[in-house]
């Protein structure tokens, strides 16, 4: 997934998994009206939900491209009440991004602990928690993964080299 030499220090991109990689909108057609009513506003708590979900369009290709130039990690939170969701998310990532993605998965609700250069997310509330640059998907600037990929194609993936004093 990552093609960099051990001596290169690359910029870090964190990618929010939920609603940025995993497309929750695809599941509505697969649930009964009663399930939709029960889990309204908390669709991620439907038992076995992750087996039904597809990737956000073009996200997987964009991530493969980003991974060739940047250090890419995946951030997710899991519903504490649904322990099966932990394993289900792991299986989803493995299925869509391969087993190497699991070594780059970070489970946390504390984005402020993720020290990196970029966070691709859809949540504006992350602004106060993350110290790097926010790339807000589904906004005018980044309406989709094509726009995100275009932006990162213009960014230098290398950290500025430190000069000796």
Query: Is 156 known to be catalytic?
Result: no
Query: Is 82 known to be catalytic?
Result: no
- Strand 54-55 to 22-23 pairing: antiparallel
**CA separation for the pair 25, 32 (Å, rounded):** 14
Q: Which residues have a catalytic role annotated? A: 16, 18
């Amino acid at each position: 997934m990552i093609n960099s030499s051990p001596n290169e220090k690359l910029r870090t991109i964190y990618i929010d998994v939920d609603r940025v990689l995993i497309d929750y909108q695809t599941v509505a057609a697969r649930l009964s009206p009663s399930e939709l009513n029960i889990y309204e506003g908390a669709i991620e708590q439907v038992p076995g939900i992750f087996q039904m979900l597809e990737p956000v369009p073009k996200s997987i290709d964009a991530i493969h491209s980003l991974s060739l130039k940047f250090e890419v990690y995946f951030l997710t939170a899991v519903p504490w009440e649904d322990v099966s969701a932990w394993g289900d998310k792991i299986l989803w990532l493995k299925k869509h991004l391969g087993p190497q993605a699991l070594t780059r998965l970070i489970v946390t609700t504390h984005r402020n602990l993720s020290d990196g250069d970029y966070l691709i997310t859809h949540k504006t509330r992350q602004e106060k928690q993350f110290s790097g640059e926010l790339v807000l998907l589904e906004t005018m600037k980044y309406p989709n993964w094509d726009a995100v990929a275009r932006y990162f194609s213009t960014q230098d993936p290398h950290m500025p080299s430190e000069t000796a004093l």
